[in-house]
Amino acid sequence: MVIVTIFGESTVPQATTDLVKSVSVENMLRQRDAVMERIAEAKRLIGEADEIASKAGFGAVSGYISDRYSHGGARFGHADFVEQMRKHVDASGWKHLMNESGIRTLMDAEARKQWDSSVYELKTPELTLANVTSTFTVLRDGREELFERGVIACFRGLSWDYKTNQPFKFGKRIVMRCLYQAQVGPYTQSVNHHAADKLDDLVRVFSVLDGKPEPDHRNGMYMHLSNATCKRPVERFIDLEYFEIRWFKNGNGHLTFKRPELVEKINRIIAKCYPHALASEVR
C-alpha cells in the first residue's frame, strides 16, 4: 500500500466539517495562507535591504543570514526559498490533520511508515481546501478497508513455522520468532525492534476492536519488553492487557491471548478478506 497515492486533488471544494472533527480546516488554511504571505514578504524585504545596503556601501546584508544546509531545509539564498518553505509548511499541515483525524490509528506500521516518509520527503500536494477534502474523503470512506488491511498485514507478519500458529486464523496462542536476540552467556537479551513493531500493531488492532483508544506509542511493546527483561531477566514473562508473553533463550516468544472474543473478531476479518489465500500460501 503506497500512502502517497491516497493524496487526492480536486477542483470542487466540499464541506470538511466531518473529515477532521477536532480541527477547523478552513481556519487552518487561512492561517497557512497568512504564514506564507509573511514568508514571501520577509524574502522581499530582505531583497530590498540588500539593494539599499549595497548602494550605501554595506554590501549584501543577506550574506549575514546563515544558509548552512540541513536535511530538507529551505535555503534563504536560493531562488526557490519561498516554494521550499511552502512545502515544509504544507507537509506539517498534512501531518497535523492526519494525527487529528484518528485515521492514523487504523494504519499498520508499514502504512504509517509510508505516510510519514511522504511527509518527511515533502512529497505532499499543496495544502488546499480541495486537496484536503479529496484526500480525507478517500481516507474516511476507506477506513474500514484500511483497518482490515492492517489486520491482515499484522497477521501475515507472524511466523507459521510452529504447530500452534494456524495459517488461516489466530488460535489461542502463537509463537513469534526472534522476539529477542538469542541469549549468549550471562548477558541480558535485547529486544528485536521489528518484532516489537509487529506486537504494537497487534495491540493497536485489539484496542480498536475493544473500543479503546490506541496506546501511547511512548509506552509501546519495545519499552514493555525491555523493562521486563531488566526487571525479571530470569522469569522471561510479561502479562499485558490482551496477551501474556513468555520468551526463551533462543529468542522466541510464546503469546497466549486473553480475550477470545476479540480474537474471534480478528478471525472474522481474516476470513472475510482472504478465505483461502492465507492457507494456500503456506502449503
Would you state the cell numbers that stand for residue 157, as one nine-digit string? 507478519
Q: How far apart are CA 260 and CA 258, in angstroms?
A: 6
Pairing of strands 253-257, 243-247: antiparallel
Q: How far apart are CA 75 and CA 29, in angstroms?
A: 24
pLDDT for residue 171 = 85
pLDDT, residue 231, reads 76
Residue 196 CB-density burial (10 A; 0-12 exposed, 13-18 middle, 19+ buried)? buried
Residue 91 confidence (pLDDT): 94
Copy the grid coordinates of residue 201.
500493531
265 residue type, one letter? K
What is d(CA 229, CA 223) in angstroms, rounded to the nearest whole number? 10
Which segments of the chain are extended strands (E)? 173-176, 237-239, 243-247, 253-257
Q: Enter the DSSP assignment of 150.
A: H
Longest pairwise C-alpha distance within the chain? 83
Residue 134: how many other CB atoms lie within 10 Å: 21
Q: How far apart are CA 197 and CA 176, in angstroms?
A: 12
**What angle, rounded to 10 degrees, do the helices at 129-141 and 143-156 form?**
60
pLDDT per residue rounded down to tens, the chain (283 residues): 333 345 554 433 344 446 677 788 899 999 999 999 999 999 999 999 999 999 988 888 888 776 655 556 677 778 888 999 999 999 999 999 998 888 887 777 778 888 899 999 999 999 999 999 998 888 888 888 888 888 887 777 765 555 565 667 888 888 888 898 766 555 667 898 888 888 988 898 899 899 998 777 667 899 999 888 887 767 789 999 999 999 988 889 999 999 999 999 999 988 887 776 444 444 3
